[in-house]
């Protein structure tokens, strides 16, 4: 988006950002003034010059119809995920829901001087928020798709930020920019890539979508990490180049199981070992546990999901996205 076009949307965009802040705060995020300032000052519309609304309806900043341009700008500041790139009818890149982004960024608990790796460049908006908080030289974002990284780089430059934007396989991390204090993924994983641990400083945090939840790991060293899921649900585009997580077959189950989002989450975590009926029986027996009762341990080349206690009776192996 060229400078004159940016200026044309600046005033209305500032008003729309204030409305977005209210929505995010109502969600319970942005308690940290530094992140509130980032969301207040980084213009999201620069990162979504076009996006799909309601299926195949492409809204663009340069639409000749003023009404559609207004729809584009208002939509850019709704607290909703936006589909920004489709390929052969499949969603390959999106801009996440801002309130969920705010929750994730605050959960990272970054400190001044931290180095952060983002897995999945997307539109570049999340990287821009990190740059606002930490400075451009502390932020690295990586994506497998060259078109996505080129677009993210351009959007970031338009907003005045120049972090390291790398084209590469996010499952392998970014060894040339390591070590990192925080790793945050904006794409769903079937399990935790071991390479990430070796690129983290001791005590680093990793926050990543896994199944339909967000796992927050604390890294002890290059071979050990452990943590629990956040309570909130999270749905992201899968990390490209990794196999899909097992889903489990929803057969022979009562309607209340099929309708339960938390059961579907538990079923995905246990699918490598339990069939759907076994998973449902466990879920019922353990008082229908929510996401935050589950966790993940990575230790000495193995990783497993667990309920309540990493050394307890309920543990299930996770697949390895790096093929090990």
Catalytic positions, written as ranges: 96
Read off the DSSP letter of residue 136.
G
| Residue 37: half-sphere exposure toward Cβ, Cα within 13 Å | 8
Residue 290 sits at the vertex; the CA angle it makes with 195 and 217, to the nearest 5 degrees, is 20
Pick the closest to residue 197 from 174, 219, 172, 168 (CA basis).
219
Total residue count of the chain as it appears in this document: 324
User: Which CA distances in Å does 212 have to 39, 92, 97, 151?
Assistant: 25, 18, 15, 27
Q: Which residues contact 31 (CB under 8 A, 6 or more apart)?
A: 106
Virtual torsion, Cα 269, 275, 280, 282, nearest 10 deg: -70
**Torsion region of 175: left, alpha or beta (phi above 0 gives left; psi -120 to 50 gives alpha):** alpha
By three-state DSSP, how is residue 256 classified?
helix
Residue 204, H or E segment: strand 200-210
**Which residues face 189 on adjacent strands?**
210
By three-state DSSP, how is residue 316 classified?
strand
């Amino acid at each position: 988006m060229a400078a004159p076009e940016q200026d044309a949307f600046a005033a209305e965009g500032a008003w729309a950002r204030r409305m977005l802040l209210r929505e995010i705060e109502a969600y319970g995020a942005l308690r940290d003034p530094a992140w509130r300032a980032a969301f207040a000052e980084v213009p999201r519309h620069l990162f979504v010059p076009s996006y799909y609304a309601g299926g195949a309806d492409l809204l663009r900043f340069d639409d000749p119809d003023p009404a559609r341009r207004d729809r584009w700008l208002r939509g850019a500041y709704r607290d909703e995920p936006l589909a920004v790139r489709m390929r052969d009818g499949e969603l390959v890149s999106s801009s996440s829901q801002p309130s969920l982004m705010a929750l994730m960024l605050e959960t990272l608990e970054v400190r001044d001087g931290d180095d952060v790796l983002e897995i999945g460049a997307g539109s570049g908006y999340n990287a821009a928020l990190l740059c606002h908080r930490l400075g451009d030289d502390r932020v690295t974002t990586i994506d497998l798709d060259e078109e996505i990284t080129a677009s993210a780089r351009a959007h970031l430059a338009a907003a005045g930020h120049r972090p390291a934007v790398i084209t590469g396989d996010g499952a392998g991390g970014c060894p040339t920019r390591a070590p990192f204090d925080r790793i945050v993924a904006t794409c769903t994983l079937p399990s935790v890539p071991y390479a990430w641990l070796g690129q983290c400083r001791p005590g680093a945090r990793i926050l990543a979508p896994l199944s339909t939840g967000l796992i927050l790991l604390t890294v002890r060293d290059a071979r050990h990490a452990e943590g629990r899921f956040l309570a909130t649900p999270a749905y992201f585009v899968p990390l490209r180049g990794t196999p899909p997580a097992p889903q489990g077959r929803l057969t022979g189950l009562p309607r209340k199981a099929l309708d339960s989002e938390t059961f579907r989450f538990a079923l995905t975590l246990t699918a490598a070992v339990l069939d759907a009926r076994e998973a449902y029986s466990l879920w019922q027996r353990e008082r229908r546990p929510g996401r935050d009762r589950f966790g993940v341990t990575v230790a000495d080349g193995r990783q497993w999901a667990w309920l309540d206690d990493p050394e307890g009776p309920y543990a299930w192996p996770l697949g390895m996205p790096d093929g090990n």
